[in-house]
Amino acid sequence: MKYKKISNNVVDERYVKEIITDYDALSQASDECDVSKSNKEIQNIVIELKNTIRANSDMIGLSAPQIGYNKRLFCLNFNGDIKTFINPVIDSADLVKGQLTLSVEQCHSEPNRKFIRLRYDNISVIYQTPTGEIKTVRLLGMAAFAFQHHLDHLNGLLLSDVALEIDDDFYKLTEEERGEIIKMYLDSIDMSATQLKEEIESDNELSELYDAARFVESVRQGETIIEQMPMSDEEIEAIKKGDSSNGN
């Protein structure tokens, strides 16, 4: 059994994993986790994620797909306090409180590359702990960016798929030239959103699903109120018969 002390962290080298950089392997959406005390696989993934983060002093976070597991979980390092986020989601109804901001990011799965990515700087997130407890927390600034970065990994998205890649020469450009490049990037995002909307509208099945999702969200936010209609005598009688036939 080998232990190694890195800074103030004790790392069990048996659980330090190699970071995956294969594009195809990282481009798959991950499966939801079954969180239970008997789920040894999830417990083992968390141990490997935490030890791998501790072994890399520049690592802010790490997702399960980056070490070979197609599971929806990741860990984030909050100044030495490593938190686990299982089946994480962003509360979409809360995004109005945040602003879209340009975040300069790098990724251990795409080494020696730097990107600019559009992110929300203020998000409310919902997740499960390793014991199955459901929690909600608000993340700001860099913590919000890191959460969104690793949520992208769970959805099979890499920075090279959706972000603007830059190099050292980018900072040698004038402010006006940098602004023009960023504007082109933002325009391309808007164009992609427009193309997606047109694709949805041209496909009846996708359009129905999209409308249904918007309806559910409007109900969730209280914008749409569903009134419960009184049942007819025939419906009440049918329910009673059904209960009787089930032995209730």
Model pLDDT for residues 91-118, shown as the tens digit of each residue: 865 565 568 889 999 999 999 999 999 9
Average pLDDT of the chain? 81
Q: Is the pLDDT of residue 214 over 60?
A: no
Model pTM score: 0.73
Residue 10: what pLDDT? 78
Provide the 3-class DSSP secondary structure of residue 35.
Answer: coil
Residue 188: what pLDDT? 81
Residue 100: what pLDDT? 85
Would you say 77 and 59 are in contact if contact means Cβ atoms under 8 Å apart?
Answer: yes
More confident residue, 226 or 106: 106
Single-letter amino acid, residue 193: A
What DSSP character marks residue 77? E
Q: Is the pLDDT of residue 184 over 70?
A: yes
Q: Residue 116 forms beta bridges with which residues? A: 104, 164
Residue 248: what pLDDT? 46
What whole-number distance in Å separates Cα of residue 153 and Cα of residue 140? 20
Provide the 3-class DSSP secondary structure of residue 104.
Answer: strand
pLDDT tens, position by position, 57-87: 899 999 999 999 999 999 999 999 999 999 9
Phi and psi angles of residue 107, each rounded to the nearest 5 degrees, phi first: -140, 135
Residue 215: what pLDDT? 52
pLDDT tens, position by position, 16-58: 999 999 999 999 999 999 887 667 899 999 999 999 999 998 9
pLDDT tens, position by position, 146-176: 999 999 999 999 999 999 999 999 999 999 9
Residue 226: what pLDDT? 45
Q: Is the pLDDT of residue 194 over 70?
A: no
What DSSP character marks residue 129? -
More confident residue, 42 or 4: 42
Would you say 4 and 13 are in contact if contact means Cβ atoms under 8 Å apart?
Answer: yes
What whole-number distance in Å separates Cα of residue 125 and Cα of residue 97? 13
Residue 231: what pLDDT? 52
Place of tokens 């590359």: 113
